[in-house]
Each structure stands twice: as structure tokens, then as C-alpha cells.
Chains A and B, each alone.
Chain A
Amino acid sequence: MKPIARSIRTRQLGGYVCHSCTRNLRRSRRGYATTSQPSTLEIYDVVCVGGGPAGLSLLAALRANPITSPLKVALIESQSLDPTRKFSLPSTQYSNRCSSLTPKSVGFLQDIGAWEHVKRERVCGYKGMRVWDGVSGASIDFSPEIGGAATEGGVVAYMNENLNLTRALLGRLDELGGVEVLEGEKVTGIGFGNDTSTADLSSWPVVKTSGGRELAARLLVGADGGNSPVRTFAGIDSRGWDYGRVGVVATLQMEGEGWGCEEGKIAYQRFLPTGPVACLPLPGKFCTLVWSTTPDLAAKLKALSAEDFVSMVNAAFRLSVTDLKYLHDLPSGQEEEVSWRENHTPFEREHVPMKVVGVQEGSIASFPLKLRHADSYIGQRVALVGDAAHTVHPLAGQGLNQGQGDVESLANTIAYSVEHGMDIGVRMNLERYESERYAQNNMLMGVVDKLHKLYATENQLVVGVRSLGLRAVNSLDSVKGFFMRQASGRGEKFL
């Protein structure tokens, strides 16, 4: 008898009030509920774990959009954000962690009002790219003219310090206000809420922080990096492999501002069998180095004196693979050896980055390179963005941009749900985000992964074929324009 009566009541209400509210309504009417909720439990619409570029730009996007701005949002970041807020370096120093931002990502940052907060004098747009094969010397040149035709303003990408971006995003969030920021608080556990008389939170994730707070989230966003606790909570596996390589980064000073910098600066990348080495322009005479190599060679590089390290960087763009092998094994004295070899190695001065003359003290660091892709970006009341969802080899400079793409899509998805009166956390309403991003990210990651593998060999046949391919592409401006548009994030969409 009783079940039938209940179902009838539910059905009667169901026409205009959603299921969980009906139940709550029912309970409250029954009237025997006591305050069984712990007093600390706070309910939010969006709780974002991770205050990196992805998390911060998501919150900025939600706050900046009048549709989503009424949402109650919180940010949990385990580190203090003060160093980021106070990030300030003289114009002769740059942080070693830089990322390229495509015009598409910059457009998004402009839309959410964060780009104005970026210190523009520390950002360097580049208009040309030169990529070449370290074994055969076959090269591909994306000159500023092709770039100009393919992209707006001719800028392929902007090099920017990650801290400059996060500082700007924090600035924008402070300006917008309305975000509950829990900084310096670690996530100690994520579980489900309870089905109580006031609210049924049994399908809601509740985040417990080291500060003793409990936040129930209609939508929990994991922007918490590669080892995402949110992803673990959601039971989503992340698959992939380690490349057995590390990226050595450093801030370098060159002898000049770069070749042909009147027309626009140029980014350089040379594919060595140990991994690609890239020299990406920063304002003035500075550039940032990303040298992917094996962990033991990276350890050797880091142990070198500043002079020898600088010589090794110059050698990496100029000397033969054989010479580099030998130089890596020298405990010291690279400077002298490299200056001798440069006299006997043919290279065109203006086809390689300008000579590096110095390395910023303490800027040499390294991080492991891997490929990871979560099985899914969404779960019930859970969404993953940025590195929590995917990690990619840095050779195409797309990692941060993929994260920005995720954020833009997720913010739009949330806005759509809000606009249409749907629950923003329900899996079905998050599907749009996943369908927009998953396949696209997967394709890009696949291309980057194959590029790494194609160039990680010294097999003569493979070298020959890949060099022929590169030269063929190099002679076709239309194909180059296509790649240029893809790299700048304004290309045709396939998926």
C-alpha cells in the first residue's frame, strides 16, 4: 500500500518539481527531521580543485559570464596563491616555466577579461617557425608571410610565463569577486554526501579539506593536475605511457633580439634522436629553452657549469648528432670543444637561433614527459579539465592550449545548462563538453605522440622517408598554411 501511495505522490509532484526536490519536499513535510547535517557542510554549485591556469580560467569564465555568475563557486588550492599574486620579476629575468598560447586561447582569455591583466611587456608573440631534422638537416620553414596569410595578425603563438598568466587570472578573479578561495588547503578526502531530511546529497561529491571544511558540489571540477584526486574519486582511469624523457627548461639570453625580428620573432625546434630541442622567443634578447632528452643526459646537462651549459645549447642547434653524443659524455670543457666544432660544421647562421650567451641563474630545471589521457572527462557531478584529463608531449606547445579549450567548452556547457534550467552537474548535461573535447584532444595527442616517435629514431630509412616528407611539405605553401592555422588553433575542425 505504502509504496503505491508514495509513487502517486511523487508522480503528482514530478510534473513540475524535480525528483530529488520532491523527496526533500516530502521529507520536510513529514517534519521529523533534525539538523543531522554537520554544521560545516557548505553547498556550492561549482567546486574547482586546483588553482592552475585551467582551474582559474574556468572560474574567471563562469564569473565573467552573466548567465553563470550567480552560481556559487569555490576554489580549493593546496598551495598559497600569494607568490602567484605577487609574481613580479625585472624585465631582465623570466620564469623558466613558459607556455605558448595560441591566438585562439588568447581570444578566450580576452573574452573572459583576463588578458588585460597579463603583463603584455613580458609576452612575446612569434610569427615564424623553423623546424628541422637533426639527423638529415631537412627543414620546414614557416615564414611570417605564410603565417600572416594564415592567421590573424600573423602571430602563430604567444610565449608567456605560466606565472604571468595565473597572476592575471587571479587578478581578474579578484576584480570579479564572488569566489570562495580556499588556498593552502589540501583535499583530504572526497566522498558522497548523506541523504538527510534537508537535502539528499547522496549523489553529490563532498570535498573535505585540511582546513576542516566540507564542501558539497553540484559539479566538482578536477583541475588538479596529472595525479588528480578528483579523477581518482570519480573512478576514471588515465592511460598512457612515459616517454622515458625529461624536458630540460631554462631561460636563456641571446646575443641579440633574434634574426629578422623586425618582421616578427621566430621559434626554432630541432629534432634530435634523443628528443626535440626548442628555443622559443621571449621579449628582448631572451628566449626559453625546452630540451627533451633522456633523464641521464638531462642530469649531465644540469651538472655542467653555466658556460658549458650555454655551449651545449648552442651545440644542440648547430652540431651533428655524433658531436652531441661525444659532448654529452664530457664532464666539462664543452665550451672549448664546441667552439672548435663550429668551425668545421656547416650550418647557416641565420637558420638557427642566435647564439646564446648566458643562462639565467637557477633557471635550469627538468620535468618528466609523458602521455596520459583519462578514459572520460566527465562523471556524475564530476568534470575534468587540463592536465587532470590529459598530458601531452610539449613538442607542439599545445598542453596549456588544450586546457584552455577544455575550459572554454566546459564553461559554455555549464552556461547552456543554467540557461535552460538544467542541473549543471548531471552527467547527461555534461556530455556536450566531453563530445566537444575528447576526440579533438585525442587526435592532437596522437599526432604529437607519433611525431615524437617518428623523430626518435636514427634508422637511415626512416630518416630518409621523413626528410623527403618534410621537404615535400616545405615546398607546398598551402599545406604549410594549413599546419600554421592548426598550430595557432584557428584551423579547420575535423572532429
Chain B
Amino acid sequence: MALLLRQRLLSSGLPRELLACTVSTTSRSFSVLNRPPPNYEGHVPLTRIEKAGLAVGSAVWSLIDPRRPDLIAALGEATATPYFIYRLRDAMLISPTGRRILRDRPRISSKTMSMTYLRSLPENTVGRTYADWLDREGVSPDTRDTVKYIDDEECAYVMQRYRECHDLYHALTGLPIFREGEVALKAFEFANTLLPMTGLSMFAVTTLKPAERKRFFQIYLPWAITNGVKSKEVINVYWEEQLERNVEELRSELGIEKPVDLRDIRRQERARRKAETEAKERSGDSLGIN
């Protein structure tokens, strides 16, 4: 009886056609007792309730502990359907390059992108900028989880591609990986890809320090929105083919302006504060307070 009720609940959810922007998949709702076989390697079919639970759980937990990429990844997958990942896939399908990416399905890892090769590229190339950014931030391209909760195998690849290209967006915009830079980049990605996870990640702005938050709202959020909306879909960049190109040229082709370097601002800010405190200390000393 309970199972029956549950089935009815599942099937009486929001009609798919209100949300799907392309041919709706023929997948039916199922219960945990008769989970269908995976649609692709590593796929974990979830019921709608499970998906919702995963979304809420990963959202809350990743806000508490933003250093858990697996939680961010799960949040991204649980909220990508319906509609959003299909929209992104369609954006790829309408572009010749995007189509080529979907057909070739290139994967980015240290195996496909050799660091020695990237470092050997001339200054100002996309590849070299990427290598420099990886070195500066001390990360590697191999830290990406594989997608498992998206039911459509092609959309799963789109999510995977977005995830693997994330570091290249970092390199292109020069934004660092600590929380402030990450939030700024997520805002840009949200404006550009519309993936809900990137939008939800912006809630992390509440966990920033007041000065950082002020900076976000004054500099990075306006930058992210204008650039994300007016630039071309960054998912359609075939990065593997762009490595030897001039990074400025690519930025202007996509319509992205490089924002003010966050690390520089922070360094200057720190220096200013330090100078202030030192000055204060010195003045305090001269007054003989201490």
C-alpha cells in the first residue's frame, strides 16, 4: 500500500514537459526496490525522492564544508535535471564545435594534457596560462570525479565536460581557487551555463568575511553577470585545440574580460592593513601608551 502511494506520488510530480526543453526521455519513475540497470558505466539511477534528498543534503553539507568537491559534484548532478543540463546540451548541439566535442567526447586529465608540454608553450598561450595557473594554485587536472547521477548518458558527458573544463575557466579568468575566487567564478558560470549548482554555490558568499563579501558585490558579481551573459557559451570551447592560441585572442573571441586579479587585490589589501597596524603601533609607541 505504502509502495503504491509512493508510486502515485512519484508519477504525480511536476509534468516533465513543463521543464524538459527537448525530447523528453522515456524513463519512468521507479522505486528503490526495482532500480533499473545503469544507462552507462558508473551510472547510479536514483528515484526522484533520492535525487531531491541528495540535492538538499549535498547543498547543506557543502555550505558547511566547501572543501568537499564530491559534495559540490553531487549537488551539481542532482540539480542539473530536469531542463538545465538539456539546455546546456542543446547549446552544444547547435554549435558546430559543441557538436564536435559531443562526438569526440574528449576528456581532460594529466594524461591527455601533459604538463611538460603545457609548460613548454610560449607565454600568453592558452596552454601556458593554464599550466601557470595550475602551478600557482598547486592543483592538478586529475581531481575531477566522474558523473554518476545523471540519467542520460550524453548529458552525463556534458556535466563531465563542464566539470573538467572548470579549471580552464579559472585559468582564463585568472580567478584563484580559494572561496572568494571560487564564488566569483561560480557566479560567472551560472550566468553562462545556467547550471543550478553554480547558482546555489553563490550562497557561499554568506560565509565570506565582510570585506570579501563587499568586494564580491562591488567588483566580482557585476563582472560575472555581465561577462557570463554577454560572452559565448564557454562549454563550446574545444580547449584541446586552443592550447597554442593567444589567450587574449580567445578571451576577446568569447567576449570575456579578465577581472582584476584577486590575489593582487588581497595582497595589496593585506599590505595596506599591515602598514596601518604598523603605523598605529608606531604612533602608539610614540605616545607611550604601551
Contacts and interface: CB of A to CB of B under 8 A. Distances in A.
* Binding between chains A and B: yes
Residue among A136, A320, A464, A471 with the most chain B CB within 10 A? A136
Given A326-B99, A344-B154, A346-B152, A468 B17 contact: yes
A321 interface: yes
A464 B21 CA distance: 10
A460 B16 CA distance: 12
Contacts of B96: 326
B28 to A, nearest CB: 12
B103 A137 contact: no
B152 A322 contact: no
15 contacts: A133-B17, A136-B16, A138-B17, A138-B24, A320-B22, A320-B90, A320-B93, A321-B22, A322-B22, A322-B90, A326-B96, A348-B26, A463-B17, A464-B17, A468-B15
Nearest to B22: A320
A460 B18 contact: yes
A464 B154 contact: no
B1 interface: no
A78 B15 CA distance: 56
Nearest to A341: B93
B94 A136 contact: no
A386 B17 CA distance: 39
Interface residues of B, number: 21
A325 interface: yes
Contacts of B18: 460, 464, 467-468
A467 B15 CA distance: 9
A356 to B, nearest CB: 19
B287 interface: no
Contacts of A135: 17, 21-22
Nearest to B15: A468
Nearest to A137: B24
User: Which 10 pairs, one residue from A and one from B, show the smallest C-beta to C-beta distance?
Assistant: A136-B17, A467-B17, A464-B18, A322-B90, A137-B24, A320-B22, A344-B154, A322-B93, A346-B25, A320-B23
B20 interface: yes
Interface of A: 133-138, 319-323, 325-326, 340, 344-348, 460, 463-464, 467-468, 471
Interface string B1-39: 000000000000001111011111110000000000000
A348 B153 CA distance: 17
Interface in B76-106: 90, 93-94, 96, 99, 102-103
Contacts of A137: 17, 20, 23-24
| Residue of A134, A320, A347, A471 with most partner-chain B CB within 10 A | A320
Interface string B92-125: 0110100100110000000000000000000000
Contacts of B90: 320, 322
Given A135-B22, A347-B26, 12 more contacts: A133-B17, A138-B24, A319-B23, A320-B22, A320-B93, A321-B22, A323-B93, A345-B23, A346-B25, A463-B17, A464-B17, A468-B15
Q: Counting chain B CB atoms within 10 Å of each CB, which of A326, A346, A460 scores highest?
A: A346
Which of B15, B17, B152 counts the most A-chain CB atoms under 10 A from its CB?
Answer: B17
Interface in B143-162: 152-154
Contacts of A136: 16-17, 20, 24
Contacts of A460: 18, 21
Contact of B23 (A326, A340, A347, A464): A347
A299 to B, nearest CB: 21
Contacts of B22: 135, 320-322
A346 B93 contact: no
A135 B24 CA distance: 8
Contacts of A134: 23
Contacts of A468: 15, 17-18
Nearest to A343: B154
A467 B22 CA distance: 13
Which residue, A319, A347, A348, A460, has most C-beta atoms of chain B within 10 A?
Answer: A460
Contacts of B103: 340
Which of A321, A344, A348 has the largest number of chain B CB atoms within 10 A? A344
B183 to A, nearest CB: 30
Nearest to B14: A464
B239 to A, nearest CB: 22
A322 B17 contact: no
B15 A464 contact: yes
Residue from B21, B94, B154 having most chain A Cβ neighbours under 10 A: B21
Contacts of A320: 22-23, 90, 93
Contacts of A340: 103
Contacts of B26: 346-348
A346 B103 CA distance: 16
Nearest to B18: A464
A319 B99 CA distance: 14
A340 B99 CA distance: 11
A135 to B, nearest CB: 8
Nearest to B24: A137
B22 to A, nearest CB: 4
B181 to A, nearest CB: 34
B143 to A, nearest CB: 28
A411 to B, nearest CB: 47
Nearest to A340: B103
A45 B103 CA distance: 70
Contacts of B25: 346
B103 to A, nearest CB: 6
Contact of A322 (B15, B24, B94, B154): B94
B229 to A, nearest CB: 19
B79 to A, nearest CB: 18
B94 A325 contact: yes
A133 B17 CA distance: 10
A299 B215 CA distance: 55
A422 to B, nearest CB: 57
A134 B16 CA distance: 14
Contacts of A319: 23
Given A340-B103, A346-B152, A464-B15, A326 B94 contact: yes
A288 to B, nearest CB: 25
Contacts of B17: 133, 135-138, 463-464, 467-468
A331 to B, nearest CB: 12
A138 B26 CA distance: 11
Contacts of A133: 17
Nearest to B90: A322
Most chain A CB within a 10 A radius of its CB, from B23, B26, B94, B152: B23
A348 B28 CA distance: 13
A323 B90 CA distance: 8
Nearest to A318: B23
A32 B21 CA distance: 84
A98 B270 CA distance: 80
Contacts of B152: 346
A346 B23 contact: yes
Nearest to A136: B17
